[in-house]
Amino acid sequence: MKNTIFATRNNFGRLLAFLLLTAIVWPATGQIVIDDCMVERSTDGIRWQEIGRKNGLTNSSVAVQYSLEDQSPLARAYYRLRSVDFDGKESRSNAILVTRADARFGITRLFPSPAQDQVTVQFQAAGEESVNVRVLDSTGRLMLEQSTAAVPNMNELPLSLSGLSTGVYTVMVSNGSGVSAPVRLVKW
Based on the domain organization, do 65 and 128 belong to the same domain? no
Residue 68 CA to residue 84 CA, distance in Å, equals: 17
Among 52, 75, 99, identify where a domain stops.
Answer: 99
What's 135's domain CATH number? 2.60.40.380
The pairing of beta strand 49-55 with beta strand 64-69 = unpaired
Quote the domain boundaries for residue 39: 5-99
Based on the domain organization, do 78 and 141 belong to the same domain? no
Total tally of structural domains belonging to the chain: 2
Report the alpha-carbon angle 108-113-116, nearest 5.
130
Task: Check: CB of residue 69 under 8 Å from CB of residue 54.
Answer: no
Residue 54 CA to residue 176 CA, distance in Å, equals: 27
What's 17's domain CATH number? 2.60.40.10
Based on the domain organization, do 93 and 128 belong to the same domain? no
- Cis peptide bond upstream of 114, omega within 30: yes
- What pTM, to 2 d.p., does this model score? 0.49
For 122-141, the pLDDT digits (tens) are: 998 888 999 999 999 988 89
Is residue 156's pLDDT more than 70?
yes
